[in-house]
Structure 1
């Protein structure tokens, strides 16, 4: 089977050489050498501060905890996202307030945010869907007007740059996912990014049961530490991720060339100065056609993913109907895309789609 994605991996011998040291030191977690080097490398690459954690969902949970909102707070967000975004809000006993999405970019529709703001609204948790930057200037202006925090779920955004700088530098906090299915991974993993040193210091305390750098308990916390095996994988993958992105770019462009006029494509922000080609989402005219293509490709050995599906306003707080999100979620399909995918497979997939769509 050809899957939707395939994890980028460093040379096996290099990884073995790195982790051999762990059998000598027996320092497997708790701010080990590789974790500190990994965080330093990320901060240098993206010109901001960071905290590496065990996974992206914990990054979201810790980020929401940073601001200590009241239990009945409302968090404005999007229904067109992976369920972890909304789960993190619910886990904190906050209420997600869904805003519909733009039908071209798939990102939160900023024109309708203000009408949903109430006295209980404390933050905007927006998602850069498939690595496509939101309208960050508009979101920032709204947040300042109403004294709201801005959190970006940038799970898909490794190495995405907006107007010449890392997308992680926007908002009060951005979170990343380094899950094995992402363009860059640490097996499992994630990170919290912010220019605010106080937020980063607090995030490090929350990551480690509430202990500060002196080993004193200064508040509540959780165990969200990234271990040394993950950090070692991350350090090695940093060496090869640029090549992975270039390979994906070539295949992404081939898909668009082969499927032009057959399917719809996400409209990327005109202000992207570097993109990572993390997924290959396409839109069909109807759910029936999408499902037929999904099943027929699977029969021929090509796995695709209905991503994102369903629209989360049909699962949680169903009174907030987001018609565009529900429509897009029923017509979207992510096609196989990863650096090692052969061009012939892309051409075969596109040929099959053209035949199925045109009948």
Structure 2
């Protein structure tokens, strides 16, 4: 593996690649680079599936993954599917959600689309600026006679205020479910995250620290709901042949994806250990830097440490989050904006609800601040130190950077 170029030459902002210097890294460092477990074990499983010639339709690897993941996530039942979005859509339909469902705008667009795709109106709720999760105190004023549910999102794997959400749902007779795409391996008050609400929906996309190439699952403690979801994800087929007893679609996970999931589960603790070490190193290097807020995890709970999240306050740094992204990209650090610009600012919701931004002040602020840095197996301690030195440099010379950026912008125009 090629060693990173030292940042020792980056003594001033003029040395940055953004201004014509050499990039710190010769190859791009990605956010969400796929983790690969024991490759030999994965190939053994794939060969087993090929030898059996049972590649789909609830094969033995899918059945094993469902059992093992249910145990890991803390729920009684797990239904594995082809991806997280289909998992969301089927869970929403199985819960008989209709009319309006309250959901945060600060989430991946699939959370909203899974509702709108089924002619359910996503009613966007503001977030708590501290947790980045849906703000329970903003929910009740959004409830109307058409409201049938609340869909919370455990952003960064940090659980929503589950207790308060459950209280609101009971009070107003609403269904409560959770998009737990970020929350594999996380806990709330000592209980793993699959224990809460009517259902928890997971994504096993390749960019997640636990992946099945592409996949997802619904975890629930409700046996009737689990059986309904099983029917719906397989065209409504009941026991026996040619026995369709319910309306359904094709949401099945294949055996090759399940083989990857089982191999990922074998190594999941190793993946989390790497994430934790990276998180601790980033925290040590970046905490206390003016204008850079480092998002932390509750050490009394289980965390997967999957995301390294900063908030950039341009009033202190003198540069914006987007300018920092450009600077990092030039150094081959492919930092990302999450979840910019918010679902409410994307189509069709921007056209459907043109004034929603006025109701979501905290969401609007956060989407302009949040920055995600590379972690997982994409980096090591040395690379993290180099990334942090870049950020330390631009913050330290923020005033000088601002002057240089303004001067170049004026020359362009």
Task: Give TM class, smaller chain.
Answer: over 0.9
Indicate yes or no: 2:63 matched with 1:36.
yes
What is the CA deviation profile of residues 136-184 of structure 1, one whole-angstrom value per residue up to 9, with x for unaligned ones? 0000000000000001000001110111111111111110000111110
What is the CA deviation profile of residues 222-262 of structure 1, one whole-angstrom value per residue up to 9, with x for unaligned ones? 10100000000111111111011011101111111111122
Note the aligned Cα RMSD (angstroms).
Answer: 1.5
Q: What is the distance in 2 between the residues matched to 1:301 and 1:233?
A: 29
- Residue 257 of structure 2 is matched in structure 1 by 230
Mapping 1:204-219, distance limit 5 Å: 204-215=230-241, 216-219=243-246
Q: What is the distance in 2 between the residues matched to 1:94 and 1:269?
A: 34
1:273 is paired with a residue of what secondary structure? Answer: coil
- Residue 349 of structure 1 is matched in structure 2 by 387
Between 52-61 and 214-223, the greater mean CA deviation after superposition: 214-223
Superposition deviation, residue 214 in structure 1: 3.6
Assess if the C-alpha contact under 8 Å between 1:110 and 1:139 holds in 2: yes
Q: What is the distance in 1 between the residues matched to 2:213 and 2:389?
A: 33
Indicate yes or no: 2:311 matched with 1:273.
no
Q: What is the distance in 2 between the residues matched to 1:307 and 1:210?
A: 37
- Residue 211 of structure 2 is matched in structure 1 by 185
Assess if the C-alpha contact under 8 Å between 1:130 and 1:279 holds in 2: yes
- Residue 61 of structure 1 is matched in structure 2 by 89
Assess if the C-alpha contact under 8 Å between 1:105 and 1:268 holds in 2: no
- Residue 372 of structure 2 is matched in structure 1 by 334
Indicate yes or no: 2:323 matched with 1:292.
yes
Between 229-238 and 289-298, the greater mean CA deviation after superposition: 289-298
1:10 is paired with a residue of what secondary structure? Answer: coil
Superposition deviation, residue 267 in structure 1: 5.2
Query: What are the ranges of 5 or more consecutive residues in structure 2 without an aligned counterpart?
Result: 1-27, 398-413
Indicate yes or no: 2:112 matched with 1:86.
yes
2:30 is paired with a residue of what secondary structure? Answer: coil
TM superposition score normalised by structure 2: 0.84
Superposition deviation, residue 340 in structure 1: 5.0
Between 186-195 and 284-293, the greater mean CA deviation after superposition: 284-293
Q: What is the distance in 1 between the residues matched to 2:331 and 2:297?
A: 30
Q: What is the distance in 1 between the residues matched to 2:152 and 2:71?
A: 25
Match of residue 293, structure 2, among 241, 264, 267: 264
- Residue 252 of structure 1 is matched in structure 2 by 279
What is the CA deviation profile of residues 16-37 of structure 1, one whole-angstrom value per residue up to 9, with x for unaligned ones? 2111122222110001011011
Superposition deviation, residue 114 in structure 1: 0.6
Assess if the C-alpha contact under 8 Å between 1:289 and 1:357 holds in 2: no
Assess if the C-alpha contact under 8 Å between 2:30 and 2:378 holds in 1: no
Superposition deviation, residue 269 in structure 1: 5.3
Assess if the C-alpha contact under 8 Å between 1:100 and 1:108 holds in 2: yes
TM superposition score normalised by structure 1: 0.96
Q: What is the distance in 1 between the residues matched to 2:384 and 2:298?
A: 25
Indicate yes or no: 2:341 matched with 1:320.
no
Assess if the C-alpha contact under 8 Å between 2:74 and 2:194 holds in 1: no
Match of residue 303, structure 1, among 328, 334, 338: 334
Q: Summarize the Cα distance change of 1:219–1:319 in structure 2 as closer, same or farther, 3 Å threshold.
A: farther
Assess if the C-alpha contact under 8 Å between 2:286 and 2:388 holds in 1: yes
Between 234-243 and 289-298, the greater mean CA deviation after superposition: 289-298
Q: Summarize the Cα distance change of 1:213–1:280 in structure 2 as closer, same or farther, 3 Å threshold.
A: farther
Superposition deviation, residue 2 in structure 1: 0.9
